[in-house]
Amino acid sequence: MTVRSSSGGPDAASARAAAISVASRARPSGWFRSQTSQRLGAGYLLLAPAVLYVLLLVGAPFLFSLYLALSDANVGEPVATFVGLENFRAALESDVFYIALRNSIVFTVVAAIFKGLLGTTLAFLLLQPFWGRKLVRGLVVIPFTLPVTISVLSWKWMYDSQFSVINWFLSRIGLVGSYGSPDWPVWLGQPHLALAACIIVNVWRSFPFSAIVLLAGFTSVPTEILDAARVDGTSFFQRFRYVVVPMIAPILLIGFLFDTVFTLSDLSIVYLLTQGGPANATKILPVLAYQVGIQAGALGRGAAISLFLFPLLLPLMILLLRNLKRRED
Amino acid sequence: MSDLQPVQTDHASVSRRRFLKVAGGGVAGSSLLTMLDARKAPAQIKGTTLRILQWSHFIPAYDAWYDKFAKEWGDKNGVKVRVDHIPHLDIPARMAAEFAAGAGHDIIYNGSSILTRLYYKNLVDLTDIADAAGKKYGGWIPAAKSLVEVEGRWYGLPLFYILAPMLYRKDLFDANNLKYPDTWELARVAARTLKPKGHPTGIALSQCADANLFWRSMFFSFGGTEADPSGANPTLDSKELREFLRFAKAIFEEGMTPEVFSWDDASDNRYLASGIACWVHDAISAYRTTEDTNPEVFKNTFLGLEPQGLPVKRVSVAAPNVWMVWKFSKNQQAAKEWLSYLLDNDLVGMVESRGYNMPYLNDRYKKPMPVIGTDPKLQILQDFPKIVAFYGHPGPSTTPIQEIVNTFIFPDMVTRVCRGKESIEESIKWGVGEYRRIYAKHKQA
């Protein structure tokens, strides 16, 4: 008679292992019941809405616009034929396209600089304790929350060549002459001034967003660290450069990314203020794409023009996201 | 001749069945004719819904009247009518969206940018309504069919267009012994004389509809053409274009200010109403704005016919307005009935728009016309239909022309000349190059 140990002994253990091994081969579904697989499954399940969202709302339109850009589609023809890179070649043949490309880059870069400067300043101001701070924090986001049509039409009035309140003010303080004089600014009529006017509206609308993003970042920096840096004798700018910025870098980078995408693809401000005029001085790629693709009906060429935004944005996105990843690691 | 021969009838061969057939057909035919004559809609449209998309008119009272008028017609015919108004600049995007979805409104409006040729395969053929109206009202003005006719069929109904006469300050002209601006040269002399006295003139040189319309009027009056009569080839590059651009540069430098580079479609209204402008070339909305806001200036504002460029050559480019019916519409019959009714009542619409809406049907020009025929200052507008043209003159409103209009190539070419940074030849090279490139793209497609 064989006596078994309470633990089962080495023979029993190997037999159990063999049995488990056989069982696991026979019933692979056992793996799915394990804790690891369940955790993984739950993870994918939770991720699924985001993935679906990206695929449906970003991936599908992107692929569709790629399809349009490679076809001779127009707004009145449901069936389009493949034309290869013809629409891209057509865009590159037009000098209006190069003007729009240049203006898009200038518009985005200059607006980003000013939004960064003004947003940071505003965020620091809103950090300071003062009476009514909560109310002011609420009020500063008004430009961002107003419907774009209303705010841009208000600006259009302020830029009016005859009744501009800005010019009236500048004239009253003696910076420009009176109406009809050669130095009376025609905001939407002089090429550089017109582009500047569009940038000003974009900055005015968006810098509160930058400020709010930065404010969220600033408030997340522990005061002990800032106090320690202060005790070490650092100046305000040194603390900002070496303590605050590295700590809020992920927020800054994401905010910057969002803002760049929104600015580069912003159609409304330029369209409502100037429609790209005078003589294309303010034409940007989204406006040109809209005029060619929708108003003139050449969907394929319009899609090709708008897709030129993609190679502009892609390197920037890769750089920013890699930087973000490196910081996380 | 044979119609006059007495018809031999064999009484014996007329069976009861045949009698009922012929008599029934006759009764049905005559009731249809009576119904059409009385513009009473057929019973089939009862209980249906008609959805109309159109612009927000510059005269808000017109929209109020239109909505009420449509509702009343709907109530009378058992049709539920819904009218949606959106800004005219949004129409092309909305049209593209409705076409892509295959759903939306039954009737869709086009203003200024007429997209018949882009969509005609998906629009209902309205030739029958157009022919009937033409027969009834003495035919259509010559420019009408260029907007809507494709391959001999009408895919839209032109209902009204918007004129742009000369509006000038008679008090300023008289005080400076200036002649009535019957030619562009006289208009230039007036601007040159009055600008130093604080009364310049202005025509928009920006990317807006006015710039597209009014500089073309001047160009065509100088004998220029945009395309050949078939619309297949651009004909911009010409000695007339050079002559026109030299004149445009001169009139800008002598009589305008850089403000015109920033103007939108309402800026010239304000310019006139503020008392600054010596003349503007604009729709009568400028006249109405002045009437409402500055009675003193209004009293001295008079209207003139399109000025001549070359002797006796006047071409006035107007802003067209056209209604179309989608093929996907499930209520095409009601849509056609409503459009016929609207055409029958276009003069009522003219009154409700304070003389702004100009009809396309010849008989409507019997003098005196409503509103404009009774106002001595506006009477001259009755003489416009003979000189009215649209984009692409003398050709039709083709797809390349629509792209050229929507990307503002023509006014941009004028702007480049007037800015003085480019020579006339350089600007022409750019403009003609853009025309050729766009035409070539559309031919390829």
| ipTM of the prediction | 0.83
- Please check the confidence at residue B22 and state whether its pLDDT lies above 70: no
Cα–Cα distance, B7 to A320 (Å, whole number): 93
Domains of chain A: 85-328 (1.10.3720.10)
Give yes or no for a contact between B234 and B227, defined as CB atoms under 8 angstroms apart. yes
Give yes or no for a contact between A281 and B205, defined as CB atoms under 8 angstroms apart. no
Cα–Cα distance, B327 to B125 (Å, whole number): 9
Q: What is the mean pLDDT of residues B58-80?
A: 93
- Please check the confidence at residue A195 and state whether its pLDDT lies above 70: yes
Check residue B49 and give its pLDDT. Answer: 94
- Please check the confidence at residue B436 and state whether its pLDDT lies above 70: yes
Residues of B in contact with A279 (CB under 8 A): 261, 412, 415-416, 419
Give yes or no for a contact between B202 and B269, defined as CB atoms under 8 angstroms apart. no
Report CB contact under 8 Å: A188, B206.
Answer: yes
In chain B, the residue whose alpha carbon lies closest to the alpha carbon of A93 is: B437
Give the tens place of pLDDT for each residue, B129-185: 999 999 999 999 988 999 999 999 999 999 999 999 999 999 999 999 999 999 999
Cα–Cα distance, A271 to A286 (Å, whole number): 9
Residues of A in contact with B119 (CB under 8 A): 75-76
Give yes or no for a contact between B322 and B145, defined as CB atoms under 8 angstroms apart. no
The crossing angle, in degrees rounded to 10, of helices B399-406 and B424-444 is 140
In chain A, the residue whose alpha carbon lies closest to the alpha carbon of B275 is: A162
Q: Does A63 touch chain B (CB under 8 A)?
A: no
For β-strands B107-111 and B319-325, DSSP reports them as: antiparallel
Q: How far is B341 from chain A (nearest CA, A)?
A: 28
Q: What is the mean pLDDT of residues A293-320?
A: 90
Q: Does A291 touch chain B (CB under 8 A)?
A: yes
Cα–Cα distance, A27 to A14 (Å, whole number): 19
State the number of CA atoms in the 13 A half-sphere of B19 facing the CB.
Answer: 8
Report CB contact under 8 Å: A297, B207.
Answer: no
C-alpha B274 chain-centroid distance: 28
Residue A262 CB neighbour total at 10 angstroms? 15
Cα–Cα distance, A124 to A245 (Å, whole number): 13
Helix (H, G, I), strand (E, B) or coil at B46: coil
> Which CA distances in Å does B94 have to A284, B84, B86, B97, B265?
22, 12, 9, 5, 21
* Residue B39 pLDDT grade (very low, low, confident, very high; cuts 50, 70, 90): low
* Residue A27 pLDDT grade (very low, low, confident, very high; cuts 50, 70, 90): low
Give yes or no for a contact between B352 and B63, defined as CB atoms under 8 angstroms apart. no
> Which CA distances in Å does A208 have to A132, A214, B421?
17, 10, 39
Check residue B40 and give its pLDDT. Answer: 59
Q: What is the mean pLDDT of residues A325-329?
A: 79
For residue A69, give the H/E element and its range. helix A60-69
Mean of the per-residue pLDDT values of chain B: 90
Check residue B430 and give its pLDDT. Answer: 96
C-alpha A233 chain-centroid distance: 37
For β-strands B49-55 and B107-111, DSSP reports them as: parallel
Rounded to two decimals, the pTM is 0.84
More confident residue, B209 or A23: B209
- Candidates A86, A184, A295, partner chain B, best to mutate (most B CBs within 10 A): A295
Domains of chain B: 44-161+320-368 (3.40.190.10), 166-317+407-444 (3.40.190.10)
Going B257 to B260 to B261 to B267, the CA torsion angle's sign is positive
Report CB contact under 8 Å: B115, A180.
Answer: no
Instruction: Find, among B103, B142, B150, the residue nearest to B126 by Cα.
Output: B150
Say what the alpha-carbon torsion angle A170, A172, A175, A180 is, to the nearest 10 degrees.
Answer: 80
- Please check the confidence at residue B2 and state whether its pLDDT lies above 90: no
Helix (H, G, I), strand (E, B) or coil at B162: strand
| Surface of B (167-226) touching A: CB under 8 A | 198, 205-208
Report the amino acid identity of residue B435.
Y
- Please check the confidence at residue B69 and state whether its pLDDT lies above 70: yes
Residues linked to residue B227 through DSSP beta bridges, in sequence order: B234
Please provide the DSSP assignment of A92-129 as one string: HH-HHHHHHHHHHHHHHHHHHHHHHHHHHHHHHHHHS-
Check residue A79 and give its pLDDT. Answer: 79
Cα–Cα distance, A235 to B336 (Å, whole number): 77
Check residue B60 and give its pLDDT. Answer: 85
Check residue A18 and give its pLDDT. Answer: 52
Q: What is the mean pLDDT of residues A201-210?
A: 93
Report CB contact under 8 Å: B415, A278.
Answer: yes
Q: How far is A66 from chain B (nearest CA, A)?
A: 17
More confident residue, A177 or A27: A177
Cα–Cα distance, B140 to A21 (Å, whole number): 91
- Please check the confidence at residue A157 and state whether its pLDDT lies above 70: yes
Residue B426 CB neighbour total at 10 angstroms? 12
- Point out the residue among B95, B259, B444 whose CB comes nearest to the CB of A186: B259
Check residue A230 and give its pLDDT. Answer: 92
DSSP H helical ranges for B311-352? 332-344, 346-352
Cα–Cα distance, B171 to B272 (Å, whole number): 13
Q: Does B271 touch chain A (CB under 8 A)?
A: yes
Q: Give every CB contact of residue B101 below 8 A, 6+ residues apart in sequence.
A: none
- Please check the confidence at residue A326 and state whether its pLDDT lies above 80: yes
Give the tens place of pLDDT for each residue, A258-303: 889 899 988 999 999 999 989 999 999 999 999 999 999 999 999 9
Q: Does A143 touch chain B (CB under 8 A)?
A: no
Check residue B41 and give its pLDDT. Answer: 64
Q: What is the mean pLDDT of residues B260-284?
A: 95
Residues of A in contact with B197 (CB under 8 A): none
Give yes or no for a contact between A204 and A175, defined as CB atoms under 8 angstroms apart. no
Give yes or no for a contact between B436 and B409, defined as CB atoms under 8 angstroms apart. no
Instruction: Find, among B317, B269, B400, the residue nearest to B112 by Cα.
Output: B317
The crossing angle, in degrees rounded to 10, of helices A299-307 and A60-69 is 120
Q: Which structure tokens are listed for B203?
A: 């025509």
For β-strands B107-111 and B301-304, DSSP reports them as: unpaired
Q: Which structure tokens are listed for B92?
A: 């092309």
What is the b/e burial string over B245-255, where b = at least 16 CB atoms within 10 angstroms of the residue's CB?
A: bebbbebbebb
Check residue B226 and give its pLDDT. Answer: 96
- Please check the confidence at residue B86 and state whether its pLDDT lies above 60: yes
Residue B178 CB neighbour total at 10 angstroms? 22
Give the tens place of pLDDT for each residue, B306-333: 999 999 999 999 999 999 999 999 999 9
